[in-house]
Structure 1
Amino acid sequence: MYGYYYFDPTYLLLVIGMVLSLLASAKVKSTFSVYSRVRSASGLTGADAARRILRMSGITDVTVVPISGSLTDHYDPGSKKLALSQDVYDKTSVAAIGVAAHECGHAIQHATNYVPLNLRSAIVPVANIGSTLSWPLFLAGLIFSIRPLLTVGIILFTFAVLFQLVTLPVEFNASSRALKMLGSSGMLGADEVKGARKVLTAAALTYVAALASSILQLLRLIILAGGRDRD
């Protein structure tokens, strides 16, 4: 009967992380929705703005392509393709131009060997392994009381947290580059740049929330492992 009524207080850490992520996701969607209805004075589409920024930066080997979905925009350094979603590629809104410019920021980082981007790329394999194997190993260690498995699980998940941490300066820097180029080039007016900044700031919050959620999960693992030691 005791086991039935037992409540694991560490679940609260997961709930907090989920709430933060949901709030951040709602914020970016609502902000993007607002500025996707504001047409830019320049009349440039997201793809136009992206190609112009790439040319201004002396980058000629990156292809701008459309991709399905909403807010699925990304830059692939392997294929050197800058993929823009259907809400960005051929749209003339302030939001579309802001997002397209942000992805150009990543292409510029890649072209200039931006250190945090290179570091993030270097830890992707171990971060993926950590995300995949950390919980199975940790749970096995918890169930069978094998301390080394608990430790390995925590270490592997730490790499996933490290990836989220390194992602922050990469994303913030890409947005900073984007806003500067949009303002200095005249592709967006001063008020329009403010709107683009709101969109990119909201997007950045999703990465902050992801990091906070990962840290809370790591804390939960440490607490559970400590509880097992006391048992």
Structure 2
Amino acid sequence: MYFFNYVDPYYWMILVPAMLIALLAQLNVSSTFNRYARVGNRRGLTGAQAAQEVLRAHGVHGVRVERVAGKLTDHYDPRTNVIRLSQSVYDSASIASVGVAAHEAGHAVQYAQEYGPIRLRGAIIPVCNFSSQISILLIILGFALYSQPLFAVGVVLFAVAAFFQVITLPVEFDASRRAIRCLGDTQLLDQEELRGAKKVLGAAALTYVAALLVSIAQLLRFVLAFNSRRRD
């Protein structure tokens, strides 16, 4: 089946460039984080302390801050109301750690203030998980059997899963905006340190843009390949 091997021209023309961009975005966020992970902040504020300060500044209470294994595995879990920070962020007093921790605290603030996009994202997670699991199977079957209905349903479900990434963009940008504004307003970081934190969070945001680009490229590849086969 040429669609799923190297003969597929759309794989190389559309998907590979998007994947290379995503790889560059990942390398950039790792490089930027590592750069500012070596730069301490003047107050000696750790990531865990920064998260607590951001929560306190927004009047958000009852959110725990815990360590989690791994690198750049930091996240906020709304189900348990816990901010989980990786070891390199939780105890570190670097500019990078403060920025990342403040960003995750920004997500907790979003939930506390019932920020619309994050509520929508949470509501559609079950649908998107189902769509992502079954869409590729239907697309493969539709292509193999040359069944336009099967293929169409698969594409629609894949688009639904991609919609999750669309909703993720404003959520992530807003969390970073809240973090930087709070760090500046409370003077937890000075202006030079804020610039470093912005670079870290900006690099992280680009990975979400790149992931969306890959999904759009994959969707376009599916449609073009199916139409090409139909013409043949």
Common fold by TM > 0.5: yes
Which residue of structure 2 aligns with residue 109 of structure 1? 110
In structure 2, distance between residues paired with 1:14 and 1:125: 26
**1:69-119 superposed Cα distances (whole Å, 9 cap, x missing partner):** 000000001100000001100000000000000001100000011011111
Deviation at 1:8, TM superposition (A): 1.4
Deviation at 1:6, TM superposition (A): 8.0
When the two structures are superposed, what TM-score results if normalisation uses the length of structure 1?
A: 0.96
Q: Give the aligned partner of residue 9 of structure 1.
A: 9
Three-state SS of the structure 2 residue aligned to 1:10 is: helix
Bigger mean CA deviation after superposition, 101-110 or 127-136: 127-136
Structure 1: segments with no counterpart, 5+ residues: none
Cα drift, residue 7 of structure 1: 2.3
**Residue equivalent to 1:135:** 136
Residues 47-74 of structure 1: CA deviation (Å, up to 9, x unaligned): 0111111122111111000001000000
Rounded to whole Å, the distance in 2 between the matches of 1:156 and 1:62 is 35
How many aligned positions are there? 229
Asked if residue 42 in structure 1 is aligned to residue 54 in structure 2, the reply is no
Please list, as runs of the form range in 1=range in 2, the aligned pairs for 1:72-151 lying within 5 A after superposition: 72-151=73-152
Q: CA RMSD in A?
A: 1.6
Runs of 4+ in 1 over 3 A off after TM superposition: none
1:161 counterpart residue number: 162
Range moving further from structure 2, 166-175 or 117-126? 117-126
User: Structure 1 residue 21: deviation in Å?
Assistant: 1.1
Which residue of the partner structure matches residue 177 of structure 1? 178
TM-score normalised by L of structure 2? 0.95
TM superposition shift of 1:227: 2.2
Distance 1:227 1:151 in 2: 15
Which AA in structure 1 matches 2:98?
I
Aligned-pair CA distance for 1:221: 1.2
Letter in 1 for 2:182: M
Specify whether residues 6 and 38 from structure 1 end up closer, same or farther in structure 2 by C-alpha distance, changes over 3 A only.
closer
CA offsets 1:159-187 (integer angstroms, 9 cap, x no match): 11111111000000000000000001011
In 1, Cα distance between equivalents of 2:137 and 2:195: 45
User: Structure 1: which amino acid aligns with 2:181?
Assistant: K
- Whole-angstrom CA distance in 2 between matches of 1:154 and 1:96: 39
- How does 1:23-42 map onto structure 2 within 5 Å? 23-42=24-43
- Segments of 5+ residues of structure 2 without an aligned counterpart are none
Q: How far off its partner does 1:122 sit?
A: 1.5
